[in-house]
Amino acid sequence: MTHPAHTPASLPATRSKTTLPAAGTAGRSRRARVEPMAVRPLRDGRYAVETEGGTYVVDLDANACTCPDHQLRRARCKHLRRVALEVTARLVPPPGKRTAVCAVCGGRTFVPTTVEGPALCSRHAVRPGEVVADRETGDRLLVVAEAGARADRVATDEGRLVADYPSNADYGAHEPVVRAVYVDSLRRDGEVRTYAFPASRLRRLRDATPADAADVGPSSTDAGPSATTA
């Protein structure tokens, strides 16, 4: 069994000024591409645009910019256009999202600014309602809660940190915890318990190759290793 690297890369706090390829357009549209600008997302969902002539603040949702061209002429200025271009090209996050590093693969991703704690890219995120496989046991699980805090910060009912269970040793302690119930337990009478797992211990089934699918055996009735709230 192989596991992806667990060390997330750091992100630069600021970007140097760049240009985009000109697309045969004229006027503000061309200047939006070819003039050196650095676009930096702000915490409030707006963007600081640093240019040779000064730094302006663009509000995409309000279609507004603090530059004279927009303030005096109500123009769709080069700064507004540049921010829209960079959002479309996924160079900067759209309003309401922030850039984050996936805790499983280290890839860059955008997550809602309201999401705190470790992030997961779209390839490694699992959503409530999704059926996944436990890489350790092959059991099928139904995800019941979005990824939460780090595995080395979340304690189970037993008072142990999720990351401290030996069966979780191969998965990143910095990964967000995902809560899930065993599909088998839903078919039986009695208590259905929720268990907590480091995100990469749960394998998404829709990405499974035929070879991978073969190692998912019939569900066992064993209790999981990291019991938490029911």
Q: Does 67 bind Zn ion (CB under 5 A)?
A: yes
Q: Does 65 bind Zn ion (CB under 5 A)?
A: yes
At CB < 8 A and 24+ separation, what contacts does 76-80 make?
A: 76/28, 77/28, 78/28, 78/29, 78/31, 78/32, 78/35, 78/37, 79/32, 79/37, 79/49, 79/51
Smallest gap from residue 90 Cβ to Zn ion (A):
15
Q: Is 13 helix (H, G, I), strand (E, B) or coil?
A: coil
Q: CA distances (Å), 223 to each of 41, 167, 184, 192, 220, in order?
A: 45, 13, 10, 11, 9
Choice from 31, 70, 150, 201 touching Zn ion (CB under 5 A): 70
Choice from 124, 150, 179, 201 touching Zn ion (CB under 5 A): 124
Choice from 83, 87, 102, 147 touching Zn ion (CB under 5 A): 102
Which residue stretch of 26-34, 95-103, 157-165, 173-181 sits at the interface with Zn ion (rule: CB under 5 A)?
A: 95-103
Q: Does 104 bind Zn ion (CB under 5 A)?
A: yes
Q: Is 199 helix (H, G, I), strand (E, B) or coil?
A: helix
Residue 143: how many CB atoms within 10 A of its CB?
A: 20
Could you tell me how many residues make up the chain?
A: 230
Smallest gap from residue 122 Cβ to Zn ion (A):
8
Choice from 32, 37, 39, 77 touching Zn ion (CB under 5 A): 77
Q: Does 150 bind Zn ion (CB under 5 A)?
A: no
Which 45-64 residues touch Zn ion, going by CB under 5 A? 56
Smallest gap from residue 1 Cβ to Zn ion (A):
18
Q: Which is nearer to Zn ion, 73 or 188 (CB)?
A: 73
Which residue stretch of 8-16, 18-26, 124-132, 179-187 sits at the interface with Zn ion (rule: CB under 5 A)?
A: 124-132
Q: Which is nearer to Zn ion, 118 or 225 (CB)?
A: 118
Smallest gap from residue 64 Cβ to Zn ion (A):
9
Q: CA distances (Å), 185 to each of 20, 104, 139, 177, 195, in order?
A: 54, 28, 11, 20, 12
Structural contact between residues 5 and 105, judged by C-beta atoms closer than 8 angstroms = yes
Q: Which is nearer to Zn ion, 112 or 217 (CB)?
A: 112
Q: Does 39 bind Zn ion (CB under 5 A)?
A: no
Contacts of 116 (CB under 8 A, 6+ apart): none
* Alpha-carbon Rg for the chain in angstroms: 23
- The residues that touch Zn ion, with contacts defined as CB under 5 A, are 56, 65, 67, 70, 77, 79, 102, 104-105, 107, 121, 123-124
